[in-house]
């Protein structure tokens, strides 16, 4: 939110109170408190009728410092802070007169308490960022009667800001205004299904604003030298997270807000949907599944979208008996084909649903302050919203899902969760309605995910979720929402996914071919390559089926090519998934996260890293042209063997069976023996491909099994023309290949 009118003036009706003049420092049980006056404190009388800003500093874990800016201490009724996972450290605190230093690990916050109060975040002898004078403030807006708290941090020359959720606007957020407010806005607007009040800087730090309300970020917009963040209320807390690279920053951020669960290996295969508004019954479903089998296209998951139920009854959890007279038998028959089954749900109950009277009577639906059920005609007529702050509503909702699981459903697509009202609303547990707008999606997905873990086991739980907030990465997978069937939408979809990845979301997918409209055959085929080189891969649309034979004669061959490729790469991809689960670095990641020191990577948003070793550059051009940048080193295209010297841009024209897929030098790439399914024995029949080792260099990789356990550590070492490969335990039927110059022999040591 903007408070100023240019540099010199304030907006009419806005009164600022900045933290200016230190009054005192006080040690606290978990850190340090600075009380700072908004006017100079030169005499005793200056303490009268004055405003003070309290700065509370904490150390929730090494290399992370929390800063709370607070005016009054009376909390908003119903305030429920976001749950954080802390590892508190004993900070080193030094107070020297009007200055103080507060150190957590390698990060120090230095506060200067003169009449221009400011703070520097210092690491390894350099100022990483600063809260300059007038950065910490409290604002009164006479126009609206609302009060706001704001923080600001400096942005240096050449510094770029990323993240803030799944945003489809330009990848670098400098110059943008970003409001953290859940919205169902599609992929071609500034609105976002997944809002995360965290940003990542290419100068080696991240900032997480721990506030569930509509935090507004002014990213070099109100003040082009600063990122400002403000929220309505008496306080605002942020965490400054230092890291030497993108991995360290995201590791610490996800340690604070939660690491992703590890999805089951089968979920990495191809998902096929009925699509949204299309007509379908069991015969239609079988025609899709059998058609894929006839064309030798491996299929792992089949998804039933909304109309498995009757329209205008969503959600009653009842199969449309006109279309599916024998749902239990149908599901058994589909399971016999080796498929996992997914089904669409949302957290709303239509007025026509058989469940509405019960849910309304028992208090399971969100109410207005007058005690009546809140209802709307937007989406389903007269629908209400399940109130997940009511424990009995949670049990009731899970009970209906459990019946579907007992039929054979393996996972759920948790759609919606964004349009949560805030005016005249009374939640069961008294939660603040403003906070619940963003928090609701966390409760919704947790209700479903917890049930899946309880019923299927921790390593078998997976959802396909559209909405998310900070911490939502703990419940994968998330998909990119309603895009359109064009190249620009394909590119904006990737931008959104990379922005979300910059917020620690480890697993992400999108609607291959676009959701709205029907793609031309070339867009569909290019999207197949992109989709199968994403962490998760789903064919889904709105008004038409997304089976490949509906596009052209070549589409089935293209889809098969990339499904086979992904399945063969599963020993590598699943190891990257384990790393995302353990350390928080996403499977799909922006180039800047992997190569933060390379200035050419700062603006790259049409390519990405799939794990730490594969560079993917989807084709977004009707003529098949791709332009991409290669970081330092000698990289090799996995699909055609061509080599690229790093530090420059390249372009080329690619047919539908190829795209730039480059292997990082020094990589040991494990290629599996099965290209027909994602879940198999990753330790048997492996081909270990070693790429571009310099003489005297070594490389290492861990290869996990399909449960994410029992890692085998493989090392490769080059001396002269020989590469020796060793493993810490035997691998059955392993084959070795070396890709590069100057090596005449590769052997097991």
Q: Read off the tokens for 561.
A: 């090519």
Placement of tokens 């489809």 in the chain: 168
Q: Which tokens sit at 135?
A: 């950065």
Helix (H) or strand (E) holding 404: helix 391-407
482 is catalytic: yes
Residue entry with tokens 């789903």 = 538
The sign of the dihedral angle between the CA atoms of 242, 248, 254, 255 is negative
Catalytic residue among 68, 218, 222, 418: 418
Residue whose structure tokens are 């024995």: 681
Candidate list 184, 251, 415, 516, residue with the active-site label: 415
Chain mean position to CA 595: 19
Cβ 524 vs Cβ 513: under 8 Å? yes
Contact 211, 183 (CB under 8 A): no
Edge-to-edge strand list for the sheet holding 107-112 = 92-96, 99-104, 107-112, 118-123, 126-131
CA 660 remoteness from chain centre: 24
What 3-state class would DSSP assign to 729? coil
Kindly report the backbone phi and psi dihedral angles of residue 465, in degrees, each rounded to the nearest multiple of 5, phi listed first.
-105, 145
3-state SS class at 432: coil
SS (H, E, C) 612-647: CCEEECCCCCCCCEEEEEECCCEEEECCCCCEEECC
Closest CA to 270 of 684, 714, 704, 675: 675
SS3 of 503-545: CCCCCEECEECCCECCCCHHHHHHHHHHHHCCCCEEECCCCCC
Transcribe 286-299 into DSSP letters: HHHHHHHHHTT---
Write down the catalytic residue from 159, 218, 482, 679.
Answer: 482
> Does the annotation count 415 as an active-site position?
yes
Q: Which residues contact 254 (CB under 8 A, 6 or more apart)?
A: 260, 473, 504, 583, 584
Closest CA to 64 of 184, 201, 243, 196: 243
Catalytic (active site) residue 318: no
3-class secondary-structure state, position 576:
helix
Active-site residue list = 415, 418, 482
């Amino acid at each position: 939110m903007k408070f100023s009118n240019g540099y010199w003036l304030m907006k009419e009706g806005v009164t600022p109170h900045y933290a200016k003049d230190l009054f005192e420092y006080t040690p606290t049980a978990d850190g340090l408190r600075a009380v700072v006056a908004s006017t100079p404190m030169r005499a005793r009388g200056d303490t009268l009728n004055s405003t003070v800003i309290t700065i509370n500093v904490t150390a929730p874990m090494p290399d992370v410092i929390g800063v709370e800016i607070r005016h009054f201490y009376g909390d908003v009724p119903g305030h429920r802070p976001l749950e954080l996972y802390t590892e508190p450290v004993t900070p080193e605190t030094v107070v020297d007169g009007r200055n103080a230093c507060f150190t957590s690990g390698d990060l120090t916050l230095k506060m200067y308490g003169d009449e221009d109060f400011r703070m520097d975040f210092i690491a390894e002898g350099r100022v990483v960022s600063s809260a300059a004078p007038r950065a910490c403030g409290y604002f009164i807006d006479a126009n609206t009667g609302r009060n706001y708290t704001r923080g600001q941090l400096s942005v240096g020359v050449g510094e770029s800001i990323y993240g803030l959720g799944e945003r489809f606007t330009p990848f670098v957020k400098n110059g943008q205004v970003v409001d953290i407010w859940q919205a169902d806005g599609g992929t071609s607007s500034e609105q976002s299904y997944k809002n995360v009040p965290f940003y990542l800087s290419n100068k080696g730090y991240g900032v997480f604003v721990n506030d569930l309300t509509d935090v507004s970020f002014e990213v070099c917009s109100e003040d082009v030298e600063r990122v400002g963040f403000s929220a309505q209320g008496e306080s605002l807390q942020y965490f400054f997270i230092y890291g030497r690279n993108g991995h360290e920053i995201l590791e610490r951020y996800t340690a604070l807000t939660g690491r992703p669960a590890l999805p089951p290996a089968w979920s990495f295969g191809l998902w096929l949907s009925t699509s949204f508004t299309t007509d379908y019954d069991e015969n239609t479903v079988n025609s899709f599944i059998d058609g894929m089998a006839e064309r030798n296209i491996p299929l792992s998951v089949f998804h039933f979208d909304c109309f498995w139920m009757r329209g205008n009854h969503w959600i009653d959890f009842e199969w449309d008996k006109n279309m599916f007279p024998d749902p239990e038998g149908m599901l058994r028959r589909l399971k016999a084909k080796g498929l996992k089954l997914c089904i669409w749900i949302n957290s709303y109950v239509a007025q026509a649903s058989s469940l509405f009277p019960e849910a309304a009577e028992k208090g399971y639906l969100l109410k207005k302050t007058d005690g009546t059920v809140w209802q709307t005609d937007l989406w389903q007529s007269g629908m209400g919203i399940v109130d997940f702050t009511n424990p009995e509503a949670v049990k009731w909702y899970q009970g209906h899902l459990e019946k579907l699981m007992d039929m054979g459903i393996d996972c759920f697509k948790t759609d919606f969760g964004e349009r949560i009202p805030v005016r005249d609303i009374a939640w069961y547990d008294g939660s603040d309605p403003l906070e619940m707008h963003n928090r609701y999606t966390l409760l919704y997905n947790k209700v479903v995910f917890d049930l899946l873990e309880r019923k299927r086991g921790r390593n078998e739980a997976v959802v396909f979720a559209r909405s998310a907030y900070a911490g939502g990465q703990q419940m994968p997978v998330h998909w990119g929402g309603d895009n359109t069937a064009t190249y620009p939408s394909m590119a904006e979809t990737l931008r959104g996914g990379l922005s979300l990845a910059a917020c620690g979301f480890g697993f992400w997918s999108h609607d291959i071919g676009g959701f709205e409209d029907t793609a031309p055959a070339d867009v569909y085929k290019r999207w197949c390559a992109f989709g199968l080189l994403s962490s998760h891969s789903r064919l889904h649309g709105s008004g038409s089926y997304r089976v490949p034979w509906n596009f052209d004669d070549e589409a089935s061959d293209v889809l098969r090519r990339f499904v086979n490729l992904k399945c063969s790469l599963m020993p590598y991809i699943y190891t990257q998934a384990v790393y995302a689960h353990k350390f928080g670095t996403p499977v799909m990641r922006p180039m800047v996260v992997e190569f933060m020191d390379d200035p050419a990577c700062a603006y790259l948003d049409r390519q990405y890293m799939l794990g730490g070793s594969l560079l993917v550059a989807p084709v977004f051009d009707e003529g098949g042209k791709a332009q991409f940048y290669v970081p330092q080193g000698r990289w090799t295209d996995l699909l055609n063997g061509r080599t690229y010297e790093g530090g420059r841009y390249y372009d080329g024209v690619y047919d539908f069976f190829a795209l730039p897929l480059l292997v990082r030098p020094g990589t040991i790439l494990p290629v599996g023996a099965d290209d027909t399914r994602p879940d198999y024995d990753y330790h048997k029949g492996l081909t270990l491909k070693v790429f571009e080792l310099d003489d005297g260099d070594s490389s290492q990789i861990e290869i996990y099994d399909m449960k994410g356990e029992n890692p085998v550590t493989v090392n490769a070492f080059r001396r002269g023309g020989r590469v020796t490969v060793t493993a810490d335990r035997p691998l059955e039927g392993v084959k070795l290949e070396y890709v590069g110059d100057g090596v005449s022999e590769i052997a097991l040591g």
